[in-house]
Structure 1
């Protein structure tokens, strides 16, 4: 994530040399964008942000409007940690230590949490739940298909932020005493399914959708050699049917570490040639994009047409002696 634009606070209008009326006029002209009451940001800079970045900036904006110390949690804490989540338009999530039902207003949802055992960290000037607690909360209170995404992420090192990987054992150890039996069951399902080999949030979400649709779990980052011995790595692979699956996240055609000096158009051409080599080696290749993940029926139809195997019933997985 690039550096976020600075927030402009109405309460600091004297330091800014602007009156409240001037701030409002700049907002009407598009020079500023109002994020929350009394909190603005440069208009063009806001328009250039991704939805993920806008949400992250919204968390900081909310923090500027609260007087009492506030601990951000779930998707809001994840945005501060750089942990990917699925879906846009979510409220800001914060914790309350009073078990009175909490108060949710102005786009902020508050959830009760017991102070005992609560891991709180200051990061980027904000109070947030710790990485493990954040991921466990997401696994406990979001659908399985979405919960797999943050779990996969935390199982590998975050080299961009210098954060070490967390093991499945560490995640499961932190469940005890902090969740109901039902929530703990949901967490275990997501953690057990988690895989650090997943290459991106889109790959994680796609894998979870496949499983929910009844397909066999694929091998990840599978090495494929063509007849000349040239190696390619497929995002997904199913040995039964010899099917390779590829998720086309647009971001990878923009990241310098992926492009390696190539233009985006050259990267697309190279991907096509790589796919041709896989087909020539006798593999079927099925490819999908984010829009397909947002419509799981389309993904399921593509996988079925490519011959991706369905899971066998539990009673059929072992032949009788």
Structure 2
């Protein structure tokens, strides 16, 4: 059997249909053979992706493939919503993505669920955009839907990422256009934007929780792990540190720490990824040992700062279990909110 799967994959951004395979000379038996040889992965009935694409896609990309394949398999056009829309908007999540496609259809007689599709109908009609060839609920509405319907861990992570990404987009657009054309730049997504959208949706349930989540979100959070860490601190009633605090004169440049409590001079970092000073450039193929050494030098330099009395680190396996993370913070002397105290963002 001779078929150029990479070429077929390029025709529809990775998706390959049974019809395309047949027109390329691959019969049903040949398709099963390609699957058995681990060259092809079946997404949904009639839709496939090459094993190479599947492996490279990662968890988020694989769910987007499933969304697109489910949409392509449907007899009618679907509008991706809720977590499915979040995935299409390239937002992160905590935990696994759903196994089914979540859609929005205000004309449906009621919310419904099948093995492949969950349909939501509550709320006013939603603005949509087209991403990767399918219709998707617009970003603001998607974030509000996630805030209303999902746990704080998922919701804060998604909203933090969206706020951060759009703040970067806005700053970049302003820089490129210059002050004279600032009025032409699309405003950045903000907490107020999302609160207005929440008012528009007017959910009958979980509104207070959604508003609390939206107000807690912060564009300064640098990663999903940092977002989850903040949620865990809030759930454990710890004082919320300041974010992305910069320290000058670190190895000839400067360094930022994920969290900082000025009142007790405590620096903290989530270690889901290696961090470096902005002056250091680590290229692909560099020695991992050298990378670890650079990070150790950075941490040692931070510890020598008068403003840093203690330095804490944690990883995914520590922050995912709430009780374990709370015990860790208590052992490290993290200040807790007093009973009845207003929620604070800094110990300083």
TM-score, normalised with respect to structure 1:
0.86
Q: How has the CA–CA distance of structure 1 residues 32 and 178 changed in structure 2, closer, same or farther, with 3 Å as cutoff? A: same
1:75-102 CA distance string (max 9 Å, x none): 1111111122222141321123334333
Match of 1:118 among 123, 126, 134: 126
Is 1:237 the counterpart of 2:246? The answer is no
CA distance in 2, matches of 1:66, 1:248: 42
Q: How has the CA–CA distance of structure 1 residues 227 and 69 changed in structure 2, closer, same or farther, with 3 Å as cutoff? A: closer
Contact 1:157–1:165, Cα closer than 8 Å, also in 2: no
Is 1:93 the counterpart of 2:102? The answer is yes
Contact 2:251–2:301, Cα closer than 8 Å, also in 1: no
- Where 1:51 maps in the other structure, the secondary structure is helix
- Where 1:307 maps in the other structure, the secondary structure is coil
1:215-249 CA distance string (max 9 Å, x none): 10110011235799974321001123321111112
Match of 1:310 among 322, 328, 336: 336
Q: How has the CA–CA distance of structure 1 residues 73 and 279 changed in structure 2, closer, same or farther, with 3 Å as cutoff? A: same
Is 1:295 the counterpart of 2:321? The answer is yes
TM-score, normalised with respect to structure 2:
0.80
In terms of mean alpha carbon deviation, does 192-201 or 178-187 score higher? Answer: 178-187
State how many pairs are aligned.
312
Match of 1:62 among 55, 59, 70: 70
In terms of mean alpha carbon deviation, does 262-271 or 238-247 score higher? Answer: 262-271
Q: How has the CA–CA distance of structure 1 residues 127 and 315 changed in structure 2, closer, same or farther, with 3 Å as cutoff? A: closer
1:21-77 CA distance string (max 9 Å, x none): 211121122111111111111123313331111111111111111121100011111
Q: How has the CA–CA distance of structure 1 residues 307 and 23 changed in structure 2, closer, same or farther, with 3 Å as cutoff? A: same
Q: 1:274: which partner in 2?
A: 298
Match of 1:73 among 66, 71, 81: 81
CA distance in 2, matches of 1:129, 1:304: 41
Match of 1:103 among 103, 108, 112: 112
CA distance in 2, matches of 1:24, 1:261: 41
Contact 2:103–2:117, Cα closer than 8 Å, also in 1: yes
Match of 1:195 among 201, 214, 218: 218
- Where 2:161 maps in the other structure, the secondary structure is helix
CA distance in 2, matches of 1:214, 1:138: 23
Contact 2:282–2:291, Cα closer than 8 Å, also in 1: no
Match of 2:236 among 204, 213, 220: 213
Q: CA RMSD in A?
A: 3.0
Q: 2:3: which partner in 1?
A: none
Structure 2 runs not aligned, ≥5 long: 1-9, 174-185, 344-348
- Where 1:50 maps in the other structure, the secondary structure is helix
Is 1:222 the counterpart of 2:245? The answer is yes
How far apart are 1:8 and its partner, in Å? 1.4
Structure 1 runs not aligned, ≥5 long: none
- Where 1:175 maps in the other structure, the secondary structure is helix
How far apart are 1:134 and its partner, in Å? 0.6
Q: 1:42: which partner in 2?
A: 50
1:161-218 CA distance string (max 9 Å, x none): 9896301111111112413243321221011111111111221111111111111011
Q: 2:177: which partner in 1?
A: none
CA distance in 1, matches of 2:298, 2:26: 57
CA distance in 2, matches of 1:221, 1:164: 23
- Where 1:40 maps in the other structure, the secondary structure is strand
1:95-114 CA distance string (max 9 Å, x none): 23334333322332211145
Match of 1:174 among 194, 197, 220: 197
